[in-house]
Structure formats: structure tokens, C-alpha cells
A = this chain, B = another copy of it.
Amino acid sequence: MKTSRLEAFSDGVIAILITIMVLELRPPHDVTLESLRPLIPVLIGYLLSFVFLGIYWVNHHHLIHASQHVNGRVLWANIHLLFWLSLIPFATAWMGETHFSKWPVVLYGVLLLFAAVSYYLLVRALLTLHGPESLLADALGADFKGKISIVFYLVSLALAFIHPWIGFIGYVLVAIMWLIPDRRIERKIN
């Protein structure tokens, strides 16, 4: 089986997730600039989730690009990843509406953690299929970022119980880590 439909389906789901979140941004009934102020926490949540879904899309793009074929296990590992990502808009909305209260921020972090773990399982499924000598195995290397992300999420989750904003900043740091270009890996994959 080729990778084209897995790409198309994942692109579709991620494109929908990244855009339906904007439906939470309800226009105010007032016409003043100040009436936008209550939307600021919603917008911050939207921005972070947009970036996270963007990161998953870019990484997924790199990962599948380096893969030659898929099997049933890979298809389901991919659907499993999409399931956790699909709950991101829900947690984003709860977090924004409650101005980053403890439990919404914890739930958001739990989803990020589960998404990271399911991404790791997808990587495992692809590596099992392609073998340790494959281009994919070479391109992925030790997958340092993927593993460190899971640790970061766990620490951020614990810190969110002290104060939600500390946990939130932990999630932001993971996003920044992924946004910093990693030319070495990119060169290998291309």
C-alpha cells in the first residue's frame, strides 16, 4: 500500500481541526475595540493550538515523506494519533473560556502528551515495517525531540498543578523547541 491516501486523509483531518477552532472565536455584539478584549485568552489558546497542529502536520509530512509504504497497523496508528489531535479543539475552547484554569490546562497537557505518545507509536509502526536499515530509520535517528517532548509534557503537567500558567509555559517551550529549524535532520530527510 502506498502512502498517498494516508497523507490525504491526515491532511483533511488536520486541516479541519486547525480551522474549526476558529468557530470558537465568536464575534462580539459590541462594535468597540474594547469588546475584543475578552477574546484575548481564546485567541492565545487558538494560536498555541494552531502552532501545535502545524507542528504535527509538518512532522507528519516529513515522516510519511521518508516512508515508502504503509500497512494496516500504520493506518490504525495514524487514526489513533488523529483521535487525540481531534480533541485539541475541545480542550482549547475549555481552556480559553475559563481563562486558563487549572483543570482545563491539565486536560490540554494530557491531550498533548497522548498525541506525542501516539505519534511515537506511529513512528514505531513505520520503523517496524521499513526495518532498521531503511532510509526512514536513518532520517529519524534517535528521535531525540520526540522523546524529550514526552518528558517535557510530563514535567509541565506536574507544574500545572502548582500554577496553570507555569504548565502552559512548559507547553509553549515544547512548541518553540519544534519551531527552531533543525537543518541537520531536514537535510537527511530530503
- A:91-137 near B, CB below 8 Å: 91, 93-94, 97-98, 101-104, 107
* A87 contact set on B, CB distance < 8 A: 22, 25
Chain A: how many interface residues by the 8 Å CB criterion?
61
Question: In the complex the two chains form, what is the Cα distance from A18 to B84 in whole Å?
Answer: 12
Q: Which of A5, A36, A98 has the most CB of B within 10 A?
A: A5
Min Cβ gap A169→B in Å is 19
Known: A23-B20, A86-B18, A97-B29. A79 touches B103 (CB 8 A): no
B72 touching A25, Cβ below 8 Å: no
Bound form: Cα–Cα A65–B70 in Å:
12
Chain A contact residues: helix, strand, loop or mixed:
helix
Q: Are A31 and B98 in contact (CB under 8 A)?
A: yes
Residues on A close to B: CB < 8 A? 1, 5, 7-9, 11-20, 22-23, 25, 27-29, 31-33, 36, 47, 50, 54, 57-58, 61-62, 65, 71-73, 75-76, 79, 82-83, 86-87, 89-91, 93-94, 97-98, 101-104, 107, 179, 181-182, 186, 189-190
